[in-house]
Amino acid sequence: MAWILVTPALLILAYLFQAWSKKKFERRLPPGPKSIPVLGHLHLIGKNPHQDMQKLAEEHGPVMYLRFGFVRNIIVSSPQAAKQFLKNYDLNFVNRPPHEAAKYISYDQRNLSFGSYGPYWRNMRKLCTLELLSSTKINSFKSMRKEEIRFLVDRIENAAREHDTVDLSDLVGSLSADVSCRMIFGKKYEDNEIDERGFKVVIQEGMQLAALPNLGNFFPYLSLLDLQGLTKRMKAVAKVYDKFLQKILDEHDVLKEPGQTKDFVDTMLDIMKSGVAEFEFDRTHIKAVLLDMLAAGVDTAATTVDWTMAELLRNPQVMRKVQNELAQVVGMDRMVDESDLTSLEYLDMVIKEVFRLHPVAPLLIPHRSIEDCEIDGFFIPKNSTVMVNIYAIGRDPKVWTDAEKFVPERFVGSHIDLLGRDFELIPFGSGRRGCPGIQLGLIMVRLVVAQLVHCFDWTLPDGMKPSEIDMSEEFGLVVTRASHLKANPSCRLQLN
């Protein structure tokens, strides 16, 4: 019954906040659509917020103001504006907003991706970069990646022999989970060791819950009432993750034999036990960061491979061109090796084009301003949430010719790379909060796509035409394909 008392009080507070905000900032805030009392602009946002914001920005401009309940949002939708927020004023937008899902699922935002800006986040980011995501560490897992990809190819070869259709989304999801687990936890886990639904589904559920418009994020204290039932779902998924992470820590707690190699979890536990960390560091911090790495590793690269294969199946002439390049660089008597990747220029363009049209994190992860500041003549208040709509930038006809078409050749002779320097294309973000896993993510995407396309020819099942492939999206922190991608493989290589 508490909600009967609390809800009207909150509505009045929200109304007063809106009236105060309007008076204080109205003339100087960036432009935006007309708001309604209490909700602000929440009613304008549907199932695919990045697409709704894209349309609104076409009318209101590349720096747009939207209010969701008590939260002021700045939506950034052009390369020039993105550069202002992520480069020129990076330090002022390096924080993350409070986030209900990260509170429940990621141990009160003790993870890296939603951690508040400060010594803990800085040190943890350094630690993860050094112990997991540096070139040396990534190279040390090269043979493991080779082995796992070989398992994938074997499974597809079997399906090809039987003339079976394969579920590419599932296969690539499992590969990505296995590679991530071996890198982060030192060994593979069976899919049902996290939950009977398997890794990818459970991780995706967390990603979707994290991205859903949660009233608790916009009306503090309303979360107590859990009007949307999201808190209940978040607590349930958090329990699944925690049980799994606890089991991993328990397994690592046993003493290692001298000479046994230490993995990332061992290193984190050693630092915790030694007490040398200059920041608060206990088991919950380790669990939060492990979960972060798992979520980031499993979903992002696999989803990008999924979108790439879908675009290649929709554009058979591009698929043939990639295969021809592979035949020339690698030859038809062996599989692709990681060392080949640097010579595959056309594949690189294909992947850039996929990131342009299907960025897996279309609004990046929300940033938050630390101080009041002025950008392009607009007042950006302290504690505003900033979302950079890279989906809108990627499809903006002012930035790209034939923006909606899949044309990898547009990158011939282009200086644009994926490292966060060219704000037309920033699928990994840019600046201090940019993705620390970019190198690993790119290796995985390039290697898996190259292998799938080099080892097999692909056709669509049941006489489906390329134009009939469903390209609809399912919104989450990572935007996945709404339906799984299925195709029929046939072997191309003459392996000895």
Closer of 40 and 408 to ligand HEM (Cβ):
408
Scan for tokens 């939060």, then name that residue. 288
CA distance 279 to 98: 20
The answer to whether 443 contacts ligand HEM (rule: CB under 6 A) is no
336 in Cβ contact with 343 (< 8 Å): no
Q: Which of residues 105-134 bind ligand HEM (CB under 6 A)?
A: 112-113, 125, 133
Q: Which of 62, 206, 436, 489 binds ligand HEM (CB under 6 A)?
A: 436
Element (H, E) at 388: strand 385-388
- DSSP-derived letter for residue 342 is G
Contacts of 440 (CB under 8 A, 6+ apart): 133, 138, 297, 301
Closer of 127 and 159 to ligand HEM (Cβ):
127
CA distance 20 to 185: 50
The answer to whether 348 contacts ligand HEM (rule: CB under 6 A) is no
Element (H, E) at 491: strand 486-491
**Which stretch, 280-288, 291-299, 343-351, 408-416, contacts ligand HEM (CB under 6 A)?**
291-299
CA distance 464 to 444: 29
**Which stretch, 18-26, 29-37, 299-307, 403-411, contacts ligand HEM (CB under 6 A)?**
299-307
Read off the amino acid at residue 218. F
- Count of residues in contact with ligand HEM, rule CB under 6 A: 26
**Which stretch, 44-52, 75-83, 326-334, 358-366, contacts ligand HEM (CB under 6 A)?**
358-366
Contacts of 447 (CB under 8 A, 6+ apart): 145, 149, 336, 338, 341
Q: Which of 41, 321, 433, 481 binds ligand HEM (CB under 6 A)?
A: 433
CA distance 244 to 189: 10
Q: Which of 82, 222, 313, 360 binds ligand HEM (CB under 6 A)?
A: 360
> Helix axis angle, 168-185 relative to 199-211, nearest 10°?
90
CA nearest 191: which of 164, 173, 215? 173
Residue 455 is labelled as binding a ligand: no
Read off the amino acid at residue 151. F
Q: Which of 32, 297, 394, 408 binds ligand HEM (CB under 6 A)?
A: 297
**Which stretch, 19-27, 71-79, 142-150, 430-438, contacts ligand HEM (CB under 6 A)?**
430-438
Closer of 212 and 447 to ligand HEM (Cβ):
447
CA distance 282 to 191: 27
The answer to whether 476 contacts ligand HEM (rule: CB under 6 A) is no
The answer to whether 351 contacts ligand HEM (rule: CB under 6 A) is no
The answer to whether 418 contacts ligand HEM (rule: CB under 6 A) is no
The answer to whether 206 contacts ligand HEM (rule: CB under 6 A) is no
Annotated binding residues for heme, written as ranges, equal 435
Q: Which residues bind ligand HEM (CB under 6 A)?
A: 112-113, 125, 133, 292-293, 296-297, 300-301, 304, 360-361, 364-365, 427-429, 433-437, 440-441, 445
